């Protein structure tokens, strides 16, 4: 409860910093808009720009603009996107929902693969399987996600004649949500999940292996083995329970990292997620749209850290709040 209460002023501070960073570049959205018109050869009407600047409040001091924006956010109104001329809420909610779904699926895939492989590599140290998974892990760490996506797309198109880009088939892209559309999403989502989860899986395998190797030679493991506990139960009940802490502690940053760090991969695979739209909003200085994305990512970070701390206290008996 205290952590939740502390999150309120923290979110206000983060929102102020985020709005300041978005407003920091010279000019504003209308400056970028005028430069685009000039490059295309159109005539820029300064009187119209001044009228729009007054309408959007760009002529107001920074603190007035921030209070207007954060006041609307508290009432559920994230403002109007300057570039899209649509309410920000309509633009971001579906994309954020798809991004969170993709991040959850990637996190589950990462855990499901990295946990057993890390345990096996630690228990069977220096075996043929350990060397094999170590080699695959280093390749996964060294290969950029977007390059992996390009290779996978090439193989799918050239050898199988199928398109692996996007999260929906053509007939479901603009269709309303239904059970059939959800099934189509599940049929497409495994490709970006594997691409985004490869490097994270390789990293967690190495972390799990190293941590479990440290725990396997502790005195409590020797004592449990001497009491006749079976090897599988011994490993899963004691050293794995301690070595799994890094998996739990990564929840706090895994969500925002997966959402904001997959921008290039989202462009390559044409994913309708929040990353490309957020990048476009930042480049166009669309303050309200970019600010909403940054604020939501901060909320995900706070919720993720709170969940990871609670899970750590439940799993590891040594961690307790005093």
Question: Who contacts 273 (Cβ-Cβ below 8 Å, separation ≥6)?
Answer: 95, 98, 99, 102, 167, 259, 262, 266
Long-range contacts of 307-312, Cβ-Cβ distance < 8 Å, separation of 24 or more: 307/251, 307/252, 308/248, 308/249, 308/250, 308/251, 308/252, 309/3, 311/248, 311/251, 312/245, 312/248, 312/249
Q: What pLDDT sits at residue 120?
A: 92
* Confidence band, pLDDT 50/70/90 cuts, at residue 86: confident
- pLDDT of 203 higher than 80: yes
Which is more confidently placed, 101 or 319?
101
Q: What pLDDT sits at residue 246?
A: 77
- pLDDT of 27 higher than 80: no
- The values of phi and psi at residue 166, to 5°, are 80, 170
What separation in angstroms does the CA of 61 have from each of 49, 66, 71, 117? 18, 9, 16, 56
Share of the chain above pLDDT 70, in %: 89
CA angle 79, 82, 87 (to 5 degrees): 40
pTM (2 d.p.): 0.78
Mean pLDDT of the chain: 81
Long-range contacts of 211-215, Cβ-Cβ distance < 8 Å, separation of 24 or more: 211/242, 211/243, 211/245, 211/246, 212/118, 212/119, 212/122, 212/123, 212/239, 212/240, 212/243, 213/122, 213/125, 214/243, 215/239, 215/242, 215/243
Q: What pLDDT sits at residue 44?
A: 63
Place of tokens 């798809």: 98
Q: Rounded CA gap, 9 and 13, in Å?
A: 6
Evaluated on CA atoms 22, 92, 302, 248, the torsion sign reads negative
Q: Rounded CA gap, 179 and 198, in Å?
A: 29
* Confidence band, pLDDT 50/70/90 cuts, at residue 260: low
Q: What is the DSSP letter of 320?
A: -
* Confidence band, pLDDT 50/70/90 cuts, at residue 41: low
Place of tokens 């991040």: 103
Q: What pLDDT sits at residue 38?
A: 67
* Confidence band, pLDDT 50/70/90 cuts, at residue 259: low
> How many residues are there in the chain?
322
């Amino acid at each position: 409860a205290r952590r939740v209460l502390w999150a309120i002023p923290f979110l206000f501070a983060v929102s102020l910093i985020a709005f300041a960073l978005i407003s920091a570049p010279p000019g504003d959205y209308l400056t970028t808009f005028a430069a685009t018109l000039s490059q295309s050869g159109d005539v820029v009407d300064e009187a119209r720009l001044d009228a729009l600047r007054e309408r959007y409040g760009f002529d107001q001091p920074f603190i007035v603009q921030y209070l207007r924006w954060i006041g609307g956010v508290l009432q559920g109104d994230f403002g109007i996107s300057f570039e899209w001329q649509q309410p920000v809420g309509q633009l971001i909610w579906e994309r954020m929902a798809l991004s969170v779904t993709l991040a959850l699926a990637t996190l589950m895939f990462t855990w499901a693969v990295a946990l057993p492989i890390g345990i096996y590599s630690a228990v069977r140290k220096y075996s043929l399987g350990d060397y094999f998974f170590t080699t695959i892990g280093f390749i996964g760490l060294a290969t950029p996600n977007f390059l992996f996506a390009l290779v996978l797309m090439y193989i799918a198109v050239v050898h199988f004649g199928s398109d692996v880009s996007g999260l929906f088939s053509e007939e479901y892209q603009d269709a309303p949500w239904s059970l059939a559309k959800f099934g189509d999403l599940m049929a497409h989502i495994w490709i970006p999940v594997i691409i985004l989860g490869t490097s994270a899986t390789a990293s967690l395998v190495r972390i799990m292996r190293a941590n479990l190797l440290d725990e396997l030679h502790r005195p409590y493991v020797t004592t449990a083995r001497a009491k006749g506990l079976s090897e599988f139960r011994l490993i899963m009940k004691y050293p794995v329970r301690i070595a799994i802490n890094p998996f739990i502690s990564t929840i706090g940053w895994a969500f925002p990292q997966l959402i904001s760090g997959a921008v290039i991969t989202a462009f390559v695979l044409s994913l309708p997620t929040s990353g490309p739209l957020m990048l476009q909003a930042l480049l166009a200085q669309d303050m309200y749209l970019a600010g909403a994305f940054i604020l939501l990512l901060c909320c995900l970070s706070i919720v993720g850290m709170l969940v990871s701390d609670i899970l750590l206290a439940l799993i590891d008996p040594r961690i307790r709040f005093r």
